[in-house]
Structure 1
């Protein structure tokens, strides 16, 4: 049964905890209920309740989501600080993650995988293109990973979308840079981020998405190393192994490989070619 506290997680005032759905190194995430609605509540771990970086990430996520206004990402219901520390309340974007889909015992048919990949490409393309009266919003997620992309039904409609979660490393025009050393989740990280040369951006989002989708579509890892230090060295020195994409249809392989070019200057500045190749490939089967 829902309660105001469960497994050490304290529900924000006016909500009750239904279940704990995530405990990371910095944050804890729970599904809570408020006036019959299921929401997501996020807090720093108890030992980090006074940690400045954790509080900054909470504020950053709230600031970004307040301005995105897209049904494929959470909307902010409330944010603030209470006796248990900083918290966020967000609408629930729920569904299987791309990681769970990639690791499923029975792989999805090609047309289904290509369709999911296309939806993810369209999502990032749309978010990167958002603007307001002052110009482009300059959105960058900062940490695309298979855990942050989900297959979700939204707005109680009979519509399946790809949703995006976790905006603690995101940025918009005019926001201060993410903290020093921010790079995202390995191995879904561009070489220049591994080397600490740049801050996360829409360009590094596109690179990370190409790694995620390359692995989803091919069923193969694009990085041989598995330990953090080794991954940083391998990717920083050599990039990702695009030869692992050889089994994919040639147009999709070419589009992904171009996004995975080792030098950032050699990569396309948009996701259009990848979108076209996936749309054509999904329609063939």
Structure 2
């Protein structure tokens, strides 16, 4: 965690800011601490972009999405204030590493732990889908490894099924290339839960082997490979117990992929093979993957929390949304995961950089 700069606020809403967790051209992420010492990731738009209507609309849309998803396997929205200066939102802070960083630093998971990881991620995706959403950017960097297991994060690209026709332009791929389904690569608007099943399959390949399904290549080359039904995803190294399942999840046609329920059932079967209990496997997974990074907080004993007045009154919902016209979708293509900063919240910075970008190029 980096120290606050002289130009940074010391408080946003009811949260005292302890430092910077990350920053990019589009926004800043702070570690926020409540009066009762709860910690949250506080995200704001870069001051120079606060006056841009499109950025504010996208920020408001993200808050709306976050309000619809609940569950123990997703990063919840704590509260937000879109009328504050700058607008901000506070989300659940997970002190562990992302799956990407964990595998990068410690190597692939063994079969049983990888299967349990996948089953717990399915629980998170169920919460997303039950809210009528498709995540559209599930990947190792968007799964945090907390003390109780994985937490699905980053809903900047999530969309309600019925809204896809308004916000996504045909022919514009949206997502992260290394984990993008063929229908995403084509820029299809009508994405379904099968898109997230594909991304989970690609994520499991990385967690179990340390490599992606199409390797490193230019964005254009990757798009062509993903959309070529004869160029099969590389699942080399996936344990035999999981290979047929993972291969099915990475099927070219969405209709051929197994449902989340089927994926869940088969992952649990592998995780608990030979009579090993779920509790034991979860304990092993946590021991192998949870790394709590120490974050030293400032001494605030002589600096009482400022009263933010009526920012959160019973009469006024701080998470209410301003009405906005449909937002045009932009081309968002990311070719590789980036190493995360201390406290591993680079996903928020990456989201600010790509989700709110006016344009992106291949």
* TM category, shorter: 0.7 to 0.9
Q: For residues 19 and 199 of structure 1, what CA distance do their matches in structure 2 show? A: 40
Question: 1:37 is matched with which residue?
Answer: 38
Aligned partners of 2:18 and 2:33 also within 8 Å = yes
From 232, 235, 251, the equivalent of 1:261 is 251
Structure 2 CA distance for partners of 1:191 and 1:74, relative to 1, 3 Å: same
Determine if contact 1:60/1:170 at 8 Å carries over to the other structure: no
| TM-score for both structures, normalised by structure 1 | 0.81
Residue of 235, 241, 264 corresponding to 1:244: 235
Flag the structure with higher strand content.
1
Q: Runs of 5+ in structure 1 lacking a partner?
A: 131-136, 154-159
Task: Calculate the TM-score normalised by the size of structure 2.
Answer: 0.65
Alpha carbons of structure 1 residues 195 and 209: separation in structure 2 relative to 1, 3 Å: same
The equivalent position to 2:199 in structure 1, one of 208, 214, 233, is 208
CA contact (8 A) 2:12 2:88 kept: yes
The DSSP-based 3-state class of the residue aligned with 1:196 is coil
Q: Secondary structure at the match of 1:150?
A: strand
CA–CA distance in 1 between the matches of 2:93 and 2:230? 35
Aligned to 1:18: 18
Q: Look at both structures and tell me which one has the larger radius of gyration over its CA atoms.
A: 2
Give the CA RMSD over aligned residues: 2.8
Give the whole-Å Cα distance in 1 for the aligned partners of 2:155 and 2:26: 14
User: Contact between 2:134 and 2:161, CA under 8 Å: does it hold in 1?
Assistant: no
Contact 1:2 1:33 in 2 (8 A): no
1:234 corresponds to: 225
Listed one character per residue, the Cα deviations across residues 56-85 of structure 1 (whole Å, up to 9, x for unaligned) are 33212211222222233222322313333x
1:76 is matched with which residue: 68, 78, 86?
78
Distance 1:234 1:172 in 2: 28
Superposed CA offset, 1:129-154 (max 9, x none): x2xxxxxx31211211211111113x
Q: Are 2:103 and 1:102 equivalent residues in the alignment?
A: yes
| Structure 2 residues not aligned, in runs of 5+ | 275-362
- Note if 1:146 corresponds to 2:147: no
Match of 2:265 in 1: 276
Q: CA contact under 8 A between 1:74 and 1:93: conserved in structure 2?
A: no
Structure with more contact order per residue of length (Cα contacts < 8 Å, sep ≥ 6): 2
Q: How big is each residue's C-alpha offset from its partner over 1:118-175, in whole Å with a ceiling of 9 and x where there is no partner?
A: 21123213432x2xxxxxx31211211211111113xxxxxx1321111122223554
Name 1:6's counterpart in structure 2.
Answer: 5
- Structure 1 residue 2 displacement after superposition: 10
